[in-house]
Amino acid sequence: MHTQVAIIGAGPAGLALAHVLHQHGIASVVLEHRDRAYVEGRVRAGVLEQGTVDLLHELGVGERLRREGLVHHGFYLQFEGERHRIDMHELTGGSAITVYGQQEVVKDLIATRLEQGEPILFEVADVTLHGLDGDRPRVRFRHGDEARELTCDYIAGCDGFHGVCRPSIPAGALTVYQKIYPFAWLGILAQAAPASAELIYAYHERGFALQSMRSPTVSRLYLQCPLDDQIAQWSDDRIWSELHARLDLADGPPLNDGPIIERGITAFRSFVVEPMQYGRLFLAGDAAHTVPPTGAKGMNLAIADVRVLGAALAAHYHAGRNDLLAAYSATCLRRVWRAEHFSWYMTSMLHRFGEDDGGFQHQLQLSQLRYTVGSRAAATSIAENYTGIVRV
């Protein structure tokens, strides 16, 4: 089997890249370890920057997004028992975000790809990469009972943080930057109308909490919890009582409870490798970098990488230019590091770190929060980072 670009991983990065390449008339094969139902059912983040929404429309996969996506012009920061609105739209001169689940994006990308008759192989196993520093790289894998080999011009490593592509690069060729945080998020989906139509990021003495949503009848809620907590330690009653304690205001409507339809614990990690390329292998999305979810940047970064990589491959195939491919890593890393900083900053401002410092850090966090909601300059900074900086 031969193709122009072998894409490893059918998450947002791999699938969106397959579509960008298809639009440019470039052939690709997507190889995915899991089955289709698993990939489509995996609940992840849900905040899309305008640039992400724009790309999905350009790819012709934005029809359901247009109907079901919830456009938000503001969000709330809550602390010391009060809720303060950050008016992103007004502060940035017209930017907004759209709330639409990552797995809905994945479903839309898969459905359209299959309608086009373009290949995605699900449930491939034992993927290995060969000849990355030559001009005819190969991907070997198992599909069903068959051992297969795919030759190609380029490999796109879109297989997430735990994938095989990044570890296929000789260790000495990469610089790794990483930071681990001393807590995790417990996330739930609940059949309950969100009490607030806009997201609420709450800093509370019991820990961080976030109210988000997926639709007018489904809430997405998160709680900061200890790193080593197991989901079995959290009964429904305990989850709801903790969410109420951290998110309800004395003088407002409480959160609406409802049946919990999905739950999980997510660890926090800031991670970047440089460069995002080795020979004919280009890394995109979580394979190259991860951010803690507090800034809502993970999927947006994955899509931004793919836009750059798609344009660079199109320049190679259609104009014989290799300068954009050569610049791929450096171009992406400017945006990646801005998002790394913003995600670290939001995480640092909004979580309890449990430090034995007599409350020093807590006072700094409160001061930063008061400044952020009280100063137009500080509020503008958070709003433009949150909605997505166009020029990084």
Local structure of residue 2 (DSSP, 8 states): B
In 3D space, the residue among 250, 188, 190 whose CA is nearest the CA of residue 223 turns out to be 188
Residue from 14, 46, 137, 194 touching ligand PHB (CB under 6 A): that is 46
Collapsing DSSP to helix, strand or coil, 224 comes out as strand
Tell me which of ligand APR, ligand PHB, none is bound by residue 13, counting a contact when its beta carbon lies within the kind-specific cut-off of 5 to 8 angstroms.
ligand APR
- Please list, in sequence order, all residues whose beta carbon lies within 8 angstroms of the beta carbon of residue 111, skipping any fewer than 6 positions away: none
Of these partners, ligand PHB, ligand APR, none, which one is at the site of residue 220 (CB under 5 to 8 Å by kind)?
ligand PHB
State which of residues 109, 284, 296, 350 lies at the interface with ligand PHB (CB under 6 A). Answer: 296
| Contact flag: residue 45 with ligand APR (CB under 6 A) | yes
The yes or no reply on residue 343 touching ligand PHB (CB under 6 A) is: no
The 3-state DSSP class for residue 340 equals helix
Q: Provide the minimum distance between the beta carbon of 116 and ligand PHB in the complex, in angstroms, as a whole number.
A: 29
Q: Is 325 a residue that touches ligand PHB (CB under 6 A)?
A: no
The one of ligand APR, ligand PHB, none whose footprint includes residue 26, by CB under 5 to 8 A per kind, is none
CB of 164 to ligand APR, least distance (A): 4
Binding ligand PHB by CB under 6 A: which of 45, 272, 303, 349?
45
Q: What is the distance between the alpha carbons of residues 46 and 221, in angstroms, rounded to a whole number?
A: 12
Cβ proximity to ligand PHB, 296 vs 306, nearer residue:
296
User: What type of residue is 193?
Assistant: A
List 221's β-bridge partners, or say none: 188, 211
Torsions phi, psi of 38, nearest 5?
Answer: -65, -45
DSSP string, 252-270: SPPPPP--EEEEEEEEEEE
CA gap 185, 171 in Å, rounded: 31
| Partner interacting with residue 10 (select from ligand PHB, ligand APR, none; CB below 5-8 Å by kind) | ligand APR
Catalytic residue list contains 386: yes
Pick the binder of ligand PHB from 47, 86, 209, 309 (CB under 6 A).
47
| 72 annotated active-site | yes
Q: Catalytic: which of 19, 22, 33, 72?
A: 72
CB 222 within 8 A of CB 388: no
Q: Which is nearer to ligand APR, 150 or 223 (CB)?
A: 150
- How many C-beta neighbours within 10 Å does residue 178 have? 11
Distance CA 26, CA 138 (A): 18
Q: Which residues pair with 273 in a beta bridge?
A: 176
Is the Cβ–Cβ distance between 6 and 155 less than 8 Å? yes
Q: Is 293 one of the binding residues for ligand PHB (CB under 6 A)?
A: yes
Catalytic hit among 154, 181, 201, 328: 201
Q: Give the C-alpha separation, 32 to 250, whole Å.
A: 48
Q: Vertex 161, ends 61 and 150: CA angle to 5°? A: 70
239 binds, among ligand APR, ligand PHB, none (CB under 5 to 8 A by kind): none
Over the window 271 to 300, marking each residue x when it contacts ligand APR by CB under 6 A and - when it does not, the resulting string is: --------------xxx----------xx-
Under the binding rule (CB under 6 A), the answer on residue 153 touching ligand APR is no
Q: Please report the DSSP string for 157-204 in residue order.
A: E-S-TTSSTGGGS-GGG-EEEEEEEEEEEEEEEESS--SSSS-EEE--
Residue 34 within binding range of ligand APR, rule CB under 6 A:
yes
Which residue in 294, 365, 372, 385 binds ligand PHB (CB under 6 A)?
294
In the region spanning residues 364 to 383, those forming contacts with ligand APR, defined by CB under 6 A, are none
Q: Which two tokens stand for residue 24?
A: 């440019």
160 lies in the site for ligand APR, by CB under 6 A: yes
Active site residue 297: yes
* Distances 222 to 53, 215, 296 between C-alpha atoms, Å: 24, 16, 13
Contact residues for ligand PHB, defined by CB under 6 A: 45-47, 199, 212, 220, 293-294, 296
Which are the catalytic amino acids? 72, 201, 293, 297, 386
Contact residues for ligand APR, defined by CB under 6 A: 8-14, 31-34, 39, 44-45, 102, 124, 127, 158-160, 163-164, 285-287, 298-299, 302
